[in-house]
Structure 1
Amino acid sequence: MTSTESPAVLEFLDATAVAGLVDAYLIGLDTAELDDDWARGLFTEDAAVVFPMSRHEGIRGMAEWHRASLAAFARTQHLHSPVVTDVRGNVAKLRANLVSTHVHHPGGDRPPLFVTGTGVSGEARRTDDGRWRLTLLEFTVIWLEGTPPGS
C-alpha cells in the first residue's frame, strides 16, 4: 500500500481483509486443523465468539473450544453470503448470512442432518502490526431443521 492510494481504495482493501477473516474462519471450521496458530491468525487476544448455546472469550482456549463444539458432528459445511462491512478507521463492523449443515455421527437416533440459517454479526480491529483480526463473532439462529446435538 502506498500513500497515493485513494481513501476509497484503502477502504475497499480494509473491507476485503475483514471479509477474508470471516471466509477463513468458516472454511476453517470445515477443513482446517483448529489449533492455536489458526486462532491467532483470526482473532485478537480479547476476542469473543458467541453461539446460541455457548460462548468463549479470549484467544486462550479458542481453538480447543471450537474443536469441542465440532466434535458433536461427523462433518460440517458452512456457506455464507458476502460479508457486509462498515470500516471506520481501525474498527470494522461486519454482517453476513450463513447456512450451516451439520452431519450427525452415524448410528444415532437423529435424522442425519441438522441445518441452521444464521445471522452473523461482529467486529474486527486493526492491530498494532497493521493486520485485521476479529474481536467479536456472534451467531443468531433464524431457522433450523433437524435435531441439534444433546436434544
Structure 2
Amino acid sequence: MTTQTDHIEISMLISRFFRALDERKFEGDWARSYFTDDVRTVTPIGSSDGIEAMEDTKEALGRYARTQHIASDVLVDAEPVPVRAGASWNALMTHVHHDATLQQRGKDANPLFTVGGYYEAELRRTGQGWRISHMSVRAVWTTGEPPVLPPEIQPTQAA
C-alpha cells in the first residue's frame, strides 16, 4: 500500500522533472536528480538506456524554441515496505517550433506541435529519495507537425 508521503514525494519528483525540462535546467548531474544510473526510457522516437542516455532528452528538447509539459492525475502504487513503486500520469506536451523551422515550412506553418498522452514509470527508493528506473511515454493524439528528425532517428510505429 502506498503511503501518503510516497505519493507526495513521487508526484513532486515528476513535477520537478517536467519543470526542469521546460526551464532547460540541465546543469551538472541533473539527470541523477530524477533517474537511477540504469534507467531505461521508451519514447515514440526510440529507447535509451543508462543515465548517460538522458543526453538524448536535452537534444530532443533542443529541436524546439520552448516547451510546456503538464502532468496530471498521478497514480502511485508502492510496495508495502516501499522500495519500489509504479506510477502513471496523463501528460499534455506543447512544443513551440524554432523560427527557422517555421520559415522552412512556409507562412502557414503551425508554430505548435502538441502531444496528449500518458507516462508509465517504475521507481526505486535510493539514498537520495525516489528515482525513476524505467519511464515510457505513449502518445495518444497529436496536433501540428513534429520537428524534422535527423535521418538516423526513425520514429517507432505504434502497435
TM-score by length of 1: 0.86
Could you tell me which amino acid in structure 2 is paired with residue 108 of structure 1? Answer: Q
Match of 2:92 among 99, 104, 125: 99
CA distance in 2, matches of 1:52, 1:25: 19
Paired residues for 1:35-50 under 5 Å: 35-50=27-42
Alignment correspondent of 2:45? 53
What do residues 81-134 of structure 1 show as CA deviations (whole Å, max 9, x unaligned)? 13110011211100100010000011231410000001111111011x261111
How far did residue 36 of structure 1 move?
4.2
Is the counterpart of residue 115 in structure 1 residue 111 in structure 2? no
* Overall identity of the aligned pairs, in %: 33
Could you tell me which amino acid in structure 2 is paired with residue 118 of structure 1? Answer: G
CA distance in 1, matches of 2:73, 2:104: 35
TM-score by length of 2: 0.82
Task: Specify every segment of 5 or more residues in structure 2 that has no aligned partner in the other structure, as ranges.
Answer: 150-159
CA distance in 2, matches of 1:40, 1:130: 9
Give the count of matched residue pairs. 141
Could you tell me which amino acid in structure 1 is paired with residue 104 of structure 2? Answer: G
CA distance in 2, matches of 1:51, 1:61: 13
Is the counterpart of residue 26 in structure 1 residue 18 in structure 2? yes
Distance 1:134 1:36, change over 3 A: farther
CA distance in 1, matches of 2:22, 2:16: 10
Match of 2:148 among 141, 146, 150: 150
Task: Specify every segment of 5 or more residues in structure 1 that has no aligned partner in the other structure, as ranges.
Answer: 1-6
Q: RMSD of the alignment, in Å? A: 1.7
Alignment correspondent of 1:4? none
Alignment correspondent of 1:71? 62
